[in-house]
Amino acid sequence: MDDEGTLMLGKMIIAVEGIEECEEFAGLIPEVRTNLVYAREVARTREDVLAVDGRITVVDGRPRAAGWVKFGSSSHMARLVLEVRKVDPSVRAGIDFAWTPRLWRWLEGYCRERRWVVSVIDRRGEPEEIREGEGASMPWKVAEAVRAAGGKVPKIFYETGAIGKEPVTVLVGHDPIEVSDQACEIARGYHGAG
C-alpha cells in the first residue's frame, strides 16, 4: 500500500469509530444501511475509493461497522462521490443516511444556519433512456443535484420519487472524519429536537 492509501485507512478508522460511538446515529441508519466512502486524490474507479465492507448497520441499538474498511468495497456511494468530484474535486468523502420528510424539514433549517447548500434530485424528471441502467443514472443524478442547487455542489442532498429505491440523504465533504463528525452532530441535534 502506498503512503496515501495508508493515511486514508487511518482516517477512515477514526471516522468509522466516531460513527460507532454516536448512539444517536443508529436512528439515522436507513434500511439499505449507511456507507462512508473516501476517494484517493486521483480517483477513477471504485477501486480508488475506500469504504466499509458490509456497510454500517445497527446491532443492539448501536451503529456497528459490519467489516473492515477496504478499497473497492462500495459501489453506489463510491460512484456518487466519483461523479461529484468531476464538478468539485475538493470533495473526497461522503456518507448516506436515512431520509424522512420530518428529518428533511429539520435539516433545511440546520443547513440554512450553516449556509450549507442543499439540493433535491427529483427522479420523476429523469429521462426514461437514462433510468434503465444504474450506471447511466449517476451522472444525471449528480448533474441534477448541482442544477437544482443553482450550479453548486450541495453539501447535503437526497433523491426522491424513484421506484424501488429507498430515499437516502447524502452528505459530502473533504475528509471522512469531517463527514463523520458532521453526520454525528446532525444525529445528535435531530435526536435532541425529537
Enumerate binding residues for a copy of itself (CB under 8 A): 1, 3, 5-11, 13-14, 17, 31-33, 53-55, 57-60, 64, 66-69, 160-167
The nearest distance, CB 134 to a copy of itself, in angstroms, is 11
Closer to a copy of itself by CB, 18 or 154: give it.
18
> Which residue is it, cell 426522491?
160
The nearest distance, CB 1 to a copy of itself, in angstroms, is 5
> Which residue is it, cell 453539501?
155
Evaluate whether 152 touches 117 at the Cβ level (below 8 Å).
yes
**Buried residues in 64-77 as b, exposed as e (16+ CB within 10 A):** bbeeebebebbebb
> Which residue is it, cell 472524519?
177
25/184 Cα distance (integer angstroms) = 6
Closer to a copy of itself by CB, 60 or 113: give it.
60
Closer to a copy of itself by CB, 65 or 118: give it.
65
88/80 Cα distance (integer angstroms) = 12
The nearest distance, CB 175 to a copy of itself, in angstroms, is 11
Closer to a copy of itself by CB, 104 or 116: give it.
104
The nearest distance, CB 114 to a copy of itself, in angstroms, is 24
What contacts 76, CB < 8 A, 6 or more positions away? 35, 134
